[in-house]
Structure 1
Amino acid sequence: MSNKDNLKLKQIYGESDDKIELINGVSVPITRNAVYGLFGQKSSGKTTLQNKIVKEIIERNKRLNSYDLENPFIVKDAPITNVFLLSKSANSDMSTFLNAETNSKTIIDLRVYQNGMDDFIKSLYEFSDSIIATLKLQCQLRFNMKTKQIRDKLILYNQQRRRRVDDDAEIDLLYQVSQQVNLIKQKYKYLCVKETNPEVIRSMNLLHNLYKQKYDGLCLRKHSIIIQVDDSSASKFLSGAGSTNLFTEFLTLTRHFGVYAMLINCHSITLFQGQRRQMINNYILLQGLKLEQVENLFEDIGLVNKNFSKQKFIEEYQNQMGFNAPLNQNGKFRYNFVYILLLPDKQVYLNFDKKIY
């Protein structure tokens, strides 16, 4: 994992002598398309850490502006376009910031959905499918616009100052496709990016001019989403009644739907069944987990091996951040957590910056 993939977090809560250092320069390895599970009891810092990570991801992505139009289904260095917060608390302490930074903050109260999480997943599928279908049209359109035959036709028709070109089915079809793309561009303006190929720009200008329209010079790009599940009843939605549901299917397909990262807060590990836990590939364990909970999680993530035994892991957790952890010099618990990375390489970080496996 290279350093450029790590987020640096720094945040201090409190004032004067009561200042509590929650996060201070720790390094978080961020894996794109990953699903993160934040485990801890109430008031253990799940929401604070989740919001801080999301803020830092957005800050970093704001500085990235390159996008490969030739490979639109591979999001490369693209800014975050959508942040979906699934929460009962519409007044999240980060909602104002996210509204300002992404212009596409969506706060979703799961209680308004009859089927909870599954209804949200269905709407996300529809959102993603409409964009992907339009990207396919745009790819074909751009390919045609770079061909000499089409370009010569467009130049000839413009020189002849033709008022109608619907007698040329090929050219008329290209224009109709461009209009379909424009509809999605108008609906999701934050998914627009500048066209970079000069041949395509010239041909598109010629095409639109024939129909007395002006080409805006923009293309549709794939969305890049962050999903936050910050709900006291999240475990209920994640556990599900049967062996499979839409959400568990979605966890295995996030990379296909433009999900940059997904962060799930869970304090009820008992409800959060092992089958669901195994679908998460990055774990963050905060203070407050009971011994049996830590044992269950460790078994689920499959890190028991000759180099790092379950017993050793439990001892590290209990002594550094669990119930046996010592208080700091101010008589307060340190803001400690264990970060477990399963992909691409199995690694465990204690307090993030101290690598213990």
Structure 2
Amino acid sequence: MTSSPSLKINFADFWATFDKKNNLFYRILSEKYEVIISEDPDILFYSCYGWEYLKFNCIRIFYTAENKKLDFTAADFGISFEFLDRKNHYRFPFYAYRILSSNNLDKLCQKFTEQEAERQWEQKKRFCCMVVSNPGAKKRIEFFQNLNNLKKVDSGGGTLNNIGGRISNKLEFISKYKFVLAFENESFPGYLTEKLVDGILAGGIPVYWGDPLVGNVFNVERFIHYRPGENEEDIFATIFNMEKDKEKYMEILRKPVFRNNTIPDVLEIDNLSQFLFYCISESKNRKPVAKTAKKYLHQLNIKKRKLQKKLIFLNRRLNFLQKIKKNFIG
């Protein structure tokens, strides 16, 4: 029996709860390689939550769960939500990562019977909830506050928490509510995260705002779609009408999750596996971008981004001080 070839990898700048040995990429690579987490890796997977990746000069694979564009002055390969026609890029939005890493595709595709839909209606005694941590998502914050002024919306995350503390299990928490606010941090074509999926998995009706192309993947009849340019009051009316209409609520719960009842290609795990194995194979024949002149261009890009963030911060602070001055004088 031949042993699997070894592969040294590492992960940098991922979200706080990311586990280097318990994630989708590690799991896939382990099917073919003896994967070793190393400080001197052959391959580095990195994301957008820090700058640790800069200390690694090996082949880099960028992955983002946020609305952050790929920068090929730093990455040799990329996995993102973007629509890029490049051999060294694989389109894999975060909703797909969430579904495949949690093995929830079968559950997501299961259609409620009438009895199951009625059970969901009866069990969900609470109105509406939200679980988010980013306080800078203006559209989401305004919608929450305006709806909350009409009827209390329970917020269980770190932002606008009004239930006495952060919840420990998101799906368990939101499964108690008829409606779940599923707003992305930002609206951008293809940027589609876990928020809509979590609301559906919890057996409720998400209120979704974000990706204008969401209907290319998901069945817009399975959730309340707050479309670009739509009136907020109309969405409120839809929510309150549906809250009282048991038959309509159950009808929506029983709709198929995906458009045309067809599972998208990004949820075929073999496609991601093929891309990862391609990256490993190609990495043996190319010089890491971190060892080329592009690294100097990347350093300039970093300085530019940091300056832009600083200017945004200073502008917000100036606006805040001007409001204080206006209120004081007025």
Same-fold call, TM > 0.5? no
Between Structure 1 and Structure 2, the one with more strand by share is 1
Q: Which has the higher contact order (CA 8 A, sep 6+)?
A: 1
Larger Rg: 1
TM-score, L = length of structure 2: 0.25
